[in-house]
Amino acid sequence: MNMNQTTNWVEAIKLTPAESRSVYQALLPIAANINSDMALVTYANEIAEAMRDALSTSTVNAIASFTERPETLQVIDGWPIDLLSLPDTPSYHPVHLTNIALYAMILVGYCLIRGECPVSYVHENAGQLIRHVTPKITQQSEVSSHGSTILGPHTDNEHKPIAGVEMGQEQAAAPSTLTLLSLRCDLMVPTLFASVQDIVAKLPEKIVQQFVQPVFIAQPPQSFSSAASAMKEVPVLIAAKGRYYARYGNISAISEIAVDALTQLRTLLNKDSLWLPLPLLPGSSVCFKQNEVLHARTVLPPRPFDGGSRWLLRLYSMQPEHVKPINSEMSFLQL
């Protein structure tokens, strides 16, 4: 990682070759059982236990304690990726879970070692746990992980309550953490990250005070279906537990003074010095506390859809006490 600014909110872990081989060998016998999201959840504890045994004690401890520590972004390099057997990047047609079972298991096992549960949403990604972050030939103009246009600064699911911070809500909360695992990369298109605490520190106090007022409307992102509803009269920032938590993305203001606050924030977010670029080479993952870290992506440069495009896998997760499944049989799927 090339870090030109202070990044005390980032933790970097490098798996040894022995750890990488052990993870691969430990998960391979389970892979034949992974043919659906239900199978991923059914075998989740077995997957996590296999990964705990394969990883060093120091790596397991660093993962397990991440959600309780002040660091808000954890990068792990060295997950086993078999580039020779990797399918083409799914820019035209979907890839079945059986073809990426090992990598889906890594995401789920990593999630459980952190003490979290994998989750998905009815109105997003067809309710599937794993989202393929790839350019899609039919969605080039979409402002989402499948589009080629700029994906501006945002938190995910900004139209939902912030887990553990906004209480008493009937609907499911936004995910607490978001994990990306790189299968193929484009060195010219890093994922960009900025700390919410750093952003707040650079804003005038009067602007911060505007953002904690419930004078904003949060619309669902374009990746959600039209059935998803907006949250009205909500704040952009919430001060809790000695920190600031944010929702940002498809946000509009109710009052004129709040419109000015959004304008000032957008100006600040245009400063390159605020952002940490991570290219995420194959086998690298990044997990971040997604209401404490904004993320973004620049324009995807034109390239042929030849199966070699940038390809990340995404998994949402949260603490068990915040999960609100639609039914007990599908414990991961939320409204």
Give the pLDDT confidence score for residue 144 in this predicted structure. Answer: 67
- Note down the domain range covering 288: 10-200+276-334
Whether residue 154 is contained in a domain is answered as: yes
Provide the percentage of residues in the chain whose pLDDT is more than 90.
Answer: 82
- For residues 151 and 161, give the distance between their C-alpha atoms in angstroms, rounded to a whole number: 22
CATH assignment of the domain containing 325:
3.60.130.10
Band of residue 284 on the pLDDT scale cut at 50, 70, 90: very high
Query: What is the average per-residue pLDDT within 201-207?
Result: 97
| pLDDT over threshold 70, residue 2 | no
| pLDDT over threshold 90, residue 129 | yes
Whether residue 2 is contained in a domain is answered as: no
Whether residue 234 is contained in a domain is answered as: no
| pLDDT over threshold 50, residue 29 | yes
Give the pLDDT confidence score for residue 292 in this predicted structure. Answer: 98
Give the pLDDT confidence score for residue 4 in this predicted structure. Answer: 42
- Both tokens assigned to 19: 């750890």
258/139: higher pLDDT: 258
Give the pLDDT confidence score for residue 228 in this predicted structure. Answer: 86
- The percent helix, strand, coil of the chain (3-state, each to 5) is 30, 25, 45
Give the pLDDT confidence score for residue 40 in this predicted structure. Answer: 98
| pLDDT over threshold 80, residue 320 | yes
Query: What is the average per-residue pLDDT within 215-239?
Result: 93
Query: What is the average per-residue pLDDT within 314-324?
Result: 97
Query: What is the average per-residue pLDDT within 261-271?
Result: 97
pLDDT digits (tens, 9 = 90+) for 162-183: 999 997 777 899 999 999 999 9
Query: What is the average per-residue pLDDT within 191-198?
Result: 97
Residue where the block lists tokens 């991570």: 278
Whether residue 152 is contained in a domain is answered as: yes
Alpha helices in 144-294 (DSSP H): 196-202, 205-211, 256-269
Whether residue 239 is contained in a domain is answered as: no
**Beta bridge partners of residue 314, listed in sequence order:** 131, 180
Whether residue 170 is contained in a domain is answered as: yes
Range picked from 134-143, 144-153, 222-231, 265-274 for highest mean pLDDT: 265-274
Does this model's pTM top 0.85? My answer is yes
Q: What angle do CA 136, 297, 287 make, to 5 degrees?
A: 100
Whether residue 142 is contained in a domain is answered as: yes
Whether residue 96 is contained in a domain is answered as: yes
pLDDT digits (tens, 9 = 90+) for 42-85: 999 999 999 999 999 999 999 999 999 999 999 999 999 999 99
**Long-range contact set of residues 238-241: C-beta below 8 Å, sequence gap at least 24:** 238/162, 238/165, 238/166, 238/212, 239/212, 240/165, 241/165
Band of residue 220 on the pLDDT scale cut at 50, 70, 90: very high
| pLDDT over threshold 50, residue 156 | yes
Query: What is the average per-residue pLDDT within 219-238?
Result: 92
As a whole number, the mean pLDDT across the chain is: 93
User: What ranges make up the beta strands (E) of the chain?
Assistant: 10-14, 73-77, 117-121, 131-133, 151-154, 177-184, 191-195, 216-218, 231-234, 237-240, 243-246, 251-253, 276-278, 285-289, 293-297, 311-318, 325-327, 330-334
Domain count, the chain: 1
Query: What is the average per-residue pLDDT within 200-227?
Result: 94
